[in-house]
Amino acid sequence: MTDWQPHTARAKDWFEDLRDRICAEFETIEREAGSDAAFEYTPWQREEEGNAEPGGGVRGVMKGKVFEKVGVNVSTVHGRFAPEFARRIHGAEENPEFTATGISLVAHMANPHVPAVHMNTRFLTTAKAWFGGGADLNPPIPYEDDTEAFHAAFRAICARHNPTYYERFRKWADDYFFIPHRGVHRGVGGIFYDHLECADEAAWERNFAFTQDVGSAFLEVFPRIVRRRMETEFTPEDKRRQLEWRGRYAEFNLVYDRGTLFGLKTGGNIDAILMSLPPEAVWS
């Protein structure tokens, strides 16, 4: 049986490096807007009875002129799933012990013409080992060129790895980021993937390389979109539209999002889990 601990350490190092580069770029955008906003980092430790090394993470949050609220979390946790929850997790019915490391990002923007965004990538081990993740764009006021730029970035990296990836993972995002009780999508999509299994060393390297490219593509495309829209003038009606849209976003994350459920069911940090919620929203 493969010892995945060194692979988890490599993935953790990459996620932390990606976090640092993303946060530096977002702070640069704030400087360009005349703001001195910066990320504040809060470490946290997970607790699990009988577990001497449950792991933890670092929650980073910035509230600025361009980024009304952006959270970037990195965590690495170890433990055992509760029996009822283990049935929902890939490979956990065979072995309820798990290790998970990953990065999760949600940005809510001050200007309603700048899209909100979500990105996460992760590596998990149970009786199986796999990568998952993706990114999706969530504009209150959609622009076709922003949507195309975002999708083009991920279409390109998918094509480098597997010609079937983009269409498969684009559809997965469309299906997943859907609010059934509203009958609407959460945004304009992106890609979403899960259970990219690592049966051997070669598969791990292949899937890790793809996951790295997902993170790099996000870092390349999203700041371009932000800079394109962040000086756009907006009206009170534009802001109202954004706040109503944020209500839909909150509904999805609290009712349907698997990452939120995973964090709550595995003893994650509550503030880190709920950092995805917008700073302000309305329900009409």
pLDDT at 240: 97
**Is 146 within a domain?**
yes
pLDDT at 255: 92
Residues 113, 35: Cα–Cα separation, whole Å: 19
pLDDT along the chain (284 residues), means of 10: 85 98 98 98 85 88 98 90 59 72 97 98 90 98 98 98 98 96 95 94 97 98 98 98 96 88 75 88 90
Helix 144-161 and helix 165-176, axial crossing angle in degrees, nearest 10: 130
**Close Cβ partners of 153 (under 8 Å, ≥ 6 residues apart):** 217, 218, 220, 221
Q: What is the CATH number of the domain that holds 114?
A: 3.40.1500.10
Tell which residue, 223, 60, 244, 215, has the closest CA to residue 141: 244
**Is 119 within a domain?**
yes
Residues 130, 65: Cα–Cα separation, whole Å: 38
**Is 281 within a domain?**
no
**Is 184 within a domain?**
yes
Domain that holds residue 192: 5-32+40-276
Both structure tokens of 84:
């009822």
**Close Cβ partners of 160 (under 8 Å, ≥ 6 residues apart):** 213
pTM: 0.92
For residue 127, give the 3-state DSSP assignment: coil
Active site includes 7?
no
pLDDT at 273: 81
pLDDT at 159: 98
For the beta carbon of residue 9, count every other beta carbon within 10 angstroms: 12
The one catalytic residue among 7, 78, 118, 151: 118
pLDDT at 89: 61
pLDDT at 272: 82
Both structure tokens of 108:
């809510």
Q: Where are the alpha helices (DSSP H) in the chain?
A: 5-32, 83-86, 144-161, 165-176, 201-229, 236-255, 258-265, 270-273
**Is 283 within a domain?**
no
Domain count, the chain: 1
pLDDT at 264: 78
pLDDT at 224: 98
Residue by residue, DSSP assigns 53-116 as: --EEEEEEEE--SSEEEEEEEEEEEEEE--HHHHTTSTTTTT--EEEEEEEEEEEEESSTTSPE
**Is 284 within a domain?**
no
pLDDT at 211: 98
Residues 281, 70: Cα–Cα separation, whole Å: 15
Burial of 4 (0-12, 13-18, 19+ CB in 10 A): middle
Residues 244, 40: Cα–Cα separation, whole Å: 28
Residues 149, 225: Cα–Cα separation, whole Å: 8
